[in-house]
Chains A and B, each alone.
Chain A
């Protein structure tokens, strides 16, 4: 196991969580006035809703945060609550706890992110490797430029374009959501099919935008790998070209590519959140749009922390892949 690497990455994440939580704690308190009441007033002013009893919610929050106590006590309490996964309650759906909202959204985000990244990483890597392979059919190299252009365009813009073409004009895919709203979600085949059907357009936006980047990196890596002595030796063994390509070329060029995946996960996650927002997908991104529109401050905080948790989880998965790809890692680390 690349233990040292994992420790470093988890340490980095903890540092970020620390900074994020502290900033989150400090900024509202640095602004004059009662943060809860002002948050609620803003909300009412922005949304025109009067469904929440301001005084009642504010009192509940004041008691919870102990705003009358010294600031360092508040800070410690703040941390204690986070460790208890107590992010407060939603202002929009008072008194639903924030944690239940973000917990429900997390699997959708991880699912979409995981499947899309697996697909675009695989396709992009393969495309890049083939683009560097002299025996590959020439159309492969022709595929590269369009995908590179697509990768320059933000994911969520592709999402809107796909949405308007395939959901609105052609009506072949649903225009949003994670499943058919009239469906009773159970663990059975029609539900799974329905969920996949709804996931196609969002994941297509991530895949189309992601392939180019992976292909570009892999092509560079493959070119240098193909110059290695073990490739010549493999050919000298009379191996079929396919075997040399996959097991001698790609296997070795894959290592830095997986590293790149680990580094890029954060920005892929950001992209996925925006794509979800465009599709009103039930993941963190879909939740975020509602929370921002309703100025649901505590839900946004919960989403931020959940995003970092998602990254930690995805990183962990990538890290499990490392030793499978590179036998040396077990010994070097």
Chain B
């Protein structure tokens, strides 16, 4: 049922313009993405809220980076298990590390992992989606079966296999690891769009005018894909960040670099919760929650103009 529903969606296309009333002026054949962005004002609120939250997080970690001493994030650097005070604003953990320092150092790393996976996932998705949607055939079939299958399994199963086989985990490798599951949604979304764009009259016009396939793809198809690429990027980044934080919390993260996920792992490992050391596990949780809520608003905002139905389906 889900299979057919999603397939049907791919075939009909999500953005085929609604039939215009007879007395309305004829619609331009290829509405540019810029026009679509400007045209609908409703999503902007949610997008702005999300972007403001994310920018605030980034700003905090940049400004914080100037204020803290990275050495305070090394085991044994400060007095262990101190509650927040004027000296240690967010207290210290039981291993003698300053929580604020770890938080300030870890936040950009977690965001970096997410962005790495988002870029890689969207790049793979763009290539696969374009090829798959544009040329179809056995390639399309293979991509679809594979992405369908990977979309439905517990992602953690796949990621575990990769992560336990990675010898020395770094934020970049973690990004690549979670990227292995970040390409399916972009692929499907872009493929569906390509299928719908391919059938529009202006493509036939371009072809009749003697444009090559490459020209058609880059001049006519790509510009119309931009909002969908943006939406996929937000989705892929958010999913990858969730996966990386989860893997790190299980202890599969980096050993020598602070991330928000490894902070959770250490807090768990040394029973910060049971000892009531809220200043240790609280800040990374609050930071992760803030980032995800920001991403949630952004994706709600972006989806409204890009892809209102695909997400509901998946």
Contacts and interface: CB of A to CB of B under 8 A. Distances in A.
A–B touch (CB < 8 A): the answer is yes
A304 to B, nearest CB: 5
A20 interface: yes
A300 B161 CA distance: 8
B15 to A, nearest CB: 18
B274 A168 contact: yes
A89 interface: no
B1 A259 contact: yes
Interface stretch (B65-73, B195-203, B287-295): B287-295
A287 to B, nearest CB: 11
A107 interface: no
Task: Give the interface centre of B245, B250, B251, B293 by most chain A CB atoms within 10 Å.
Answer: B250
B254 interface: no
A102 to B, nearest CB: 12
Interface in B259-273: 264, 268-269, 273
Given A265-B152, A266-B152, A5 B276 contact: no
Contacts of A269: 154, 156
B252 interface: yes
A269 B289 CA distance: 20
B2 A304 contact: no
A28 B165 CA distance: 7
Interface residues of B, number: 48
B314 interface: yes
A149 B268 CA distance: 24
Nearest to B285: A157
A239 interface: no
Nearest to A9: B152
B276 A15 contact: no
B111 to A, nearest CB: 15
A12 B164 contact: no
A2 B1 contact: yes
B164 A164 contact: no
A156 B3 contact: no
Interface string A221-245: 1000000000000000000000000
A329 B1 CA distance: 9
A154 interface: yes
A304 B160 contact: yes
Given A12-B145, A152-B292, A263-B151, A308 B314 contact: no
B288 A292 contact: no
A314 to B, nearest CB: 10
A164 B1 contact: no
A300 B148 contact: no
B161 A164 contact: no
Interface stretch (A92-100, A191-199, A271-279): A271-279
A289 B276 contact: no
A20 B158 contact: yes
Contacts of A300: 160, 164
Nearest to B146: A15
Given A152-B293, A160-B273, A168-B274, A260 B2 contact: yes
B246 interface: yes
B1 A292 contact: no
A78 B274 CA distance: 42
A153 B246 contact: no
A16 interface: yes
Contacts of A13: 149, 152-153
A280 to B, nearest CB: 9
Task: Give the interface centre of B160, B246, B278 by most chain A CB atoms within 10 Å.
Answer: B160
Contacts of B250: 274, 277, 288-289, 292
A66 to B, nearest CB: 21
A7 to B, nearest CB: 11
A152 B296 contact: yes
B313 interface: yes
A329 B3 CA distance: 14
A322 B3 CA distance: 14
Interface string A69-91: 00000000000000000000000
Contact of B288 (A154, A273, A308): A154
Contact of A263 (B242, B276, B296, B314): B314
B155 interface: yes
A203 B146 CA distance: 32
Nearest to A304: B157
A267 B295 contact: no
A209 B154 CA distance: 17
A266 B153 contact: yes
Given A2-B1, A15-B145, A168 B276 contact: yes
A16 B5 contact: no
Given A262-B152, A292-B164, 13 more contacts: A5-B3, A15-B145, A15-B146, A149-B293, A160-B264, A163-B273, A164-B273, A175-B274, A269-B156, A270-B156, A289-B251, A300-B164, A303-B160
13 contacts: A12-B145, A15-B146, A16-B157, A27-B165, A156-B249, A163-B273, A217-B312, A260-B313, A263-B152, A265-B152, A293-B251, A311-B154, A329-B1
Among all A-B residue pairs, the 10 with the closest Cβ atoms: A152-B296, A12-B149, A270-B156, A269-B154, A27-B165, A259-B2, A307-B157, A270-B154, A153-B289, A266-B154
